[in-house]
Structure 1
Amino acid sequence: MANKKNEKVYKIVSENLKQLLKKNNETKSELARAIGVSPSTVSYWLNATSIPSGKMLQKLIDHFHVNLSDIIGKQESGIPDLKNITALSFEGTPLSEEDLKATRNYVANRLKEKRKKEERFNSIIDTLHSDKDSLSDEDLTKIQRLLNK
């Protein structure tokens, strides 16, 4: 089982590179040739199997004429940030400013709790994986289910 943080980074880089290729109407083979790597290396990046090294990131930045954040930064989802929501309604009735603030606080607290739980789980899994007698993926899934109860 791969580290969840790494998986997220790999997926972000993958999606950003796909968007850049699409935007530039370029194939993975053309990109590979332009920056001096094999097409399979580009495929690994696009499939979120690996990410470019620092040297390759610089070549990608130069090739696409973008900033580093355009490659490794999170994609904007188009969804407004909770902090920026200025109006909500419930059952057709607009929430008061006080209710809106309470809703923001409730959601923020729940998300913080969820993230702490995920961090704790990932820490446990990392510890288990560093052991010589690593557990199977099935065992890890069982542990995850127990932690989520």
Structure 2
Amino acid sequence: MANSLFGANTSDELEKFGTVEKIVTQLKSFLPPSATLAAGSYEELLKDIKWIKQHVIREEQVFVNPRQEHIYYLLEHANGKERKQKLGVKDEFYQDCGASAARKWRNRIAFILRQDTCGDERTQRAFHRLQEMYAEMTQLEFDDPLLDQPDALSCEGGCDNGK
């Protein structure tokens, strides 16, 4: 039913799907929890539906190569949870004992991006976003080097970092 909502072009067509409140509830399932949707009329709903179709609902993306796919997910994908899933981010990366795994994840994606040889502006921005995500995971300042000494990592609580 929700997919049919996105095909509606007039307020009369929207009325067939129920009350404004019912439609708002259905549309919220496509948005992140922090997003608000406060349409009070079918006309306002049409504007919201158009925005959701344009910014959230996309047909399956077809990428010419993995580099373009990673650039898309780093820079343009609207759903943060799905972005992390598509990029392979794991919860363990945010733990003290996940720094090594997070570094391997970052290096794998950095290799795919090839920022050093593909110096276009989008690649540079994607690489910068990757670095920001990595810094957030490891809670390092952006330019701080990662500690490579195993004894510098805290793995209390049963974490397994490959030792």
Fold match by TM threshold 0.5: no
Normalising by the residue count of structure 2, what TM-score does the alignment of the two structures yield? 0.23
Q: Identify the structure with the greater helix proportion.
A: 1
Bigger relative contact order, structure 1 or 2 (CA pairs below 8 A, ≥6 apart)? 1
